[in-house]
Chains A and B, each alone.
Chain A
Amino acid sequence: MSISESVIKTDHKRKITGEALYVADYPTAGLLFGRLLRSAKARARLIAVKPPELPSGYFYVDKNDVKGLNRVHIVQDDLPVFAEDTVEFIGDAIGMMVGPDRDTVEELAGKVTVEYEELTPVIRVEDSDTIFVDYHYDKGDAEKAFREADRVIEEVFETGHQEQAYLETQGIIARPEGERIVIHGSMQCPYYVHRAVAQATGYRPEQVRVKYDTTGGAFGGKEDYPSILAAQAAVAAIKAGRPVRVIFDRREDMEFTGKRHPSKCRYKAAIKNGRVTAMDIDVIYNSGAYITLSPVVIQRGIIGASGVYTIDNLKVRGRAVKTNTVPNGAFRGFGGPQTFFAVEMMMGHIAARLGEDALGFKLKHIAKKGDVTSTGGIHHFPVPLPAMIKQVCEACDFKSKREKYNTQTGTKRRGIGISLAYHGAGFTGRGEHELIKAVIRLHKYPDGRVEILTANTDMGQGLDTTFSKIAAGELNISLDRIIVEPADTDRVLDSGPTAASRSIMVVGELVRRGAARLRDEWREGDEQVIEEHFKEPDFVIPFNIKEFKGDAYPTCAWSVCAVEVELDTITGVARVLDACGSYDCGTPIDRRILIGQMEGGFMQAIGYASMEQMAADSSGRIRNNSLSDYIIPTAVDVPGLRCLLHEEAYPAGPFGAKGAGELPAVGGAAAYLEAMEQALGGVPLNHIPFSAENAIDILEKRGNAQ
């Protein structure tokens, strides 16, 4: 049987029967409930915080209870576990009320009086005076290319927040056990949580145990946030000497946890003889109030800023700036969707100004195997975009529709757009080699069953099943002899986070190598343990982060997306008639699981471009904090969505697989907006989400002009 042939997922039964235990499903007897006290001001000095008189068994927890360092370890140590002298956004955690009765906890939390000295908050990126990170890199000689250009085209592109909207909100239980603290809950990265909890509590690493529970979706939203919540819950549990459970309600989750960074990108392109010879790109991401993951998010954003194209001369700058709004974090694509949106629109707009067909113009610039990447690395493997473009164009009759929709009459107007993207597979730069140093074990029991021991989590993407298939495939044993238990830091070594589309390509390859060794060394009836460590593939040109030089990624996953819309020019409402994507993730470890990932991610990309709107008002408060006010696609919104695969083995991945999970979220937005441009009669558009109101504005302006 080929590895790609689909199997029934190993977690199917316990989920479909409702038996799987998510963190909120554990019995609550003996637990204390925790409620965070959050800042009501976007920026202020804390003058005095006075909790009310507390009944016996209730505790108020704040910075004074943090026995370790009052910083949550993420990339840097900047975000306090509990606020110190200032609060930096509406929602900043000042303290936590805990106790045995949930309603009483709520009531007591509401009675804490906080005296603020208000300071003027910075809400808009334009007003920011704090640059958290500022990266620059160059390729070739952009200045010379601009001097010699036939023409220069400049545009600005903007993208908004996007909320992960996992169906299960954030939740953690912290349980003191003797000299130890045990954490379990909804999370992507148990060892991130482990480090953050040890640092906040001052406990030695061996005193901290972290397990993940069945996790109800994450999409990046549970990469860093559980570290924050677990540190807070652990401090509270240690103070109370009792287990503490904190589970967010939907509004708290939507308003106060990290989202996709809003962006503003200025693109300047030099054109010579009908080709783009240089780009000068200035990328600004709104980091929110704290740094958290922003440095790595913007690294990925600027490395991809020239898209799937080989542009010989580049001058790229990327800044993550502070505003007094919710700190932004990881969301599927991790800085990629913003710049890929911008560069795809930019290339389309340049083509329009030159009187060329957008897709044809893009094709002239597409990278190919052997080309130098934006950071002076090499595309070591074939770039299959031309074949994938053909596949998508045929599947949705792209070319004839694109031409046909150029001349339309009537109140309903159609448009079709196409976008190209890649996702650099795995961590940016030398993260795997220098920081993560992944290690996994396989444990063979005397009865011949083999347990896979990694720190990676299955949050719905099917990793328990795909890891099992990799091990079973290499060992040539049946799937039911493979065991995968939820990661528990007492039992597994650190194979790194479940992020960056690295799990299958990097950790899965360690599982495969371990399984191959175990097969060779197999001793019937014995107990055996195999350990495998990460090794950078030989072909990789080591990346230098100071200069942004070298292979930022060992390889890329590629995508082509087409979206067709029908716009009602009376109401401004657009319907998606067709959405067709092709994805190259190497050899699928399970075709059905991979298609499921691509369909879900493509849907998120369409939501990002169209209906998912969230913003802070002038006071810094996010009003779109519920699923009534922040709209995500339902089953009727994109009925025509379909995903195709381009299957081409990646030699350094297990069975030929490479990064997958994030790819579909990177590229779809520009296809939607290009379709909207056409439906609106060819007007250039520069921002997402693009709402019905935005369409009406354009239609009205045009109406007034006529």
Chain B
Amino acid sequence: MNSFKETFERYDWHTLEKEIYGCTSLDVERVLAKEKITLSDFKTLISPAAKPYLEQMAQRSSALTKKRFGKTMQMYIPLYLSNECQNICTYCGFSMINNIKRKTLTDKEILDEVAYIKKLGYDHILLVTGEANRTVGVAYLKNAIALIRKHFSNISIEVQPLDQEEYETLIAEGLYAVLVYQETYHKATYRTHHPKGKKSNFDYRLLTPDRLGRAGIHKIGLGALFGLEDWRVDSFYTALHLKYLQRTYWKTKYSISFPRLRPHQGDVEPKVAMTDADLVQLICAYRLLDEDVELSMSTRESKVFRDNIINLGITSISAESKTNPGGYAVAPESLEQFEISDERSTVEITEMIQSQGYEVVWKDWDRSYLVSE
């Protein structure tokens, strides 16, 4: 069976690094004058040589996004169900070796959290867990989806990678989208940051979107965790992954997220810093590469950054997120996965978005249109 592995293995990290850092301003000008941006052009657009052209990229990204998505911004909110985890991820607050109180929400607690979230107005929810297959496995997720589905028109998950049949089970239950970030496409660095647990299997994670595509999922979210490796090369691989998936699983929608390492319990310093200007450059480069892909922004980023990024290519945004299980209503004081940066309320965020001339969209999907085959 074909998979992303064959495509992935055709590229070499160091060659890509050399190509990206070897781009010149002439290359950038040539690419910016083109109507269609290819994957190879994407390398040029994320190169240091493109930095002086950031304003031009931003104008084009802004215009393309408005053309395709209109002046709208999709709202979503994460719901952390559990911080139990049998993986060691050096950068994560939920890592198995961190001595924190572990919690997995009960049915009643889930519904209490949902009641709080519904009052804020959300209709798209993202369920998040660590990886603890015995307690928070497919059965738990299936139950959680069944429990909340009447309250939301769109349910996404960001949990451990699963098998194709397991995804099929959850899709039948009402799952719409799955977010699965590779963290880094650099195999050796991946191994360093994920020394133990199921997550240490690089290939299983790498091929998760293939399993999702075969399972017929509606939407797949991709991304790399910026800070583990050179963000430029990791982003090229992410874009390569995106293009492969679009060609192969062409009925599925895709979104890209841009998590930068945030402070958390058990700190690891970012190996490669990514500045605000770098992140703007990357977001614009994605938009120039692909007019249709959803670009998502979390509360990891600062108020000023988020206020300004609304116009630049982002199409969905979260607000008021809590990254600890029970964080909204059940146990607001428990330990977070990472500290969020923009702590404004949902009302403040929606007002900020509207003041820039954008409509806030709570719902753009309804499960009731689905007919099971």
Say whether A and B bind each other. Answer: no
A residues neighboring B (CB under 8 Å):
none
